[in-house]
Amino acid sequence: MDIYIFGQQLINGIVLGSTYGLIAIGYTMVYGIIGMINFAHGEVYMISSYMTAIAIALLTLLGINFLPIQLFLVLLLAMIFTGLYGWAIEKIAYRPLRGSTRLAPLISAIGVSLVLQNFAITSQGAKNQAIPPLIEGNFKIGGAEQFMQVTYVQAMIIIVSMLSMVALTWFIKKTPMGRACRAVQQDLVMSSILGVNSNRIISSVFIIGSVMAAIAGFLITLNYGTFDYFVGFKMGIKAFTAAVLGGIGSLPGALLGGILLGLSESLFSSFVNADYKDVFAFSLLVSILIFRPSGLLGKPAVEKV
């Protein structure tokens, strides 16, 4: 086995897995707080891809071409608008159904997902969309003929993903809002009795998860340059798998599950068969859940009495 090929696939897997982990955070936070899966979260990621492209075109039209400023403003706009989508989804699809059966919010979220897909089709078209490459260049590791390379965008993806996870972990553990989130997670009714505004906390969790998806959409769009209205479904399924693999409800588990899923896809594609990479990834998930149903870093459910 060529060590450079193996190393390159490890790099590609970590890059892909980091983005899975960022999107998976949205699933794991919502589940951790209200015990439900936000199946419209993949479409939130899709919206962020469109917002990234629209913001780049708008800023270019306004003459804002200095790349660091442009990228910062694009990311900021994508985070703001995508956060608003997350807030709206909680307000429309989840809050009115919070006291109903578990099936009702699930169906509502799937309905929102279809609405967002069709909104993207009618407003932007069904064809693939693309942006020009904004960041070019790479780092090379190795000799002149055999080497591994990390593009500047890939390096940015890894760094931003890790920093986002560290910042979010600090926010949850050290801030008053984070303590309120943990209180609602432990017992929604009791935390409300003790003065925590549970509605505001739940809305904030949806917004935070959407912002993380916006960061992922921004980074992936810069890396690949293309996207379409269906990209949210595909990435959403992978990110949900990563969340379950790492232990849904665990923030470190979301990132760990994403990286493991990305590595398994990358290595299997390179050394076995790219056509069956998804089969291998989901087989890995099933195998782990057989022996550890709560996921790698998840905690077994404890019935409250």
pLDDT at position 301 is 56
pLDDT-based confidence at residue 214 (cuts at 50, 70, 90) = very high
> Once rounded to an integer, what is the mean pLDDT over residues 225-248?
87
Mean pLDDT for the chain overall: 86
* Distance, CA of 198 to CA of 117 (rounded, Å): 30
Distance of CA 95 to the CA centre of its chain: 22
> Once rounded to an integer, what is the mean pLDDT over residues 220-235?
89
pLDDT-based confidence at residue 47 (cuts at 50, 70, 90) = very high
Given a contact cutoff of 8 angstroms between Cβ atoms, the answer to whether 24 and 239 are in contact is: yes
Distance of CA 34 to the CA centre of its chain: 18
pLDDT tens digits, one per residue of 1-20? 578 788 888 888 999 999 99
**Is pLDDT at 32 greater than 50 in this prediction?**
yes
pLDDT-based confidence at residue 126 (cuts at 50, 70, 90) = confident
pTM of the model: 0.90
**Is pLDDT at 250 greater than 60 in this prediction?**
yes
pLDDT at position 300 is 62
- Mind listing the domains of the chain with CATH numbers? 13-291 (1.10.3470)
**Residue 47 burial (10 A CB sphere; 0-12, 13-18, 19+):** buried
pLDDT at position 218 is 93
Distance of CA 71 to the CA centre of its chain: 19
**Residue 272 burial (10 A CB sphere; 0-12, 13-18, 19+):** exposed
pLDDT-based confidence at residue 305 (cuts at 50, 70, 90) = very low
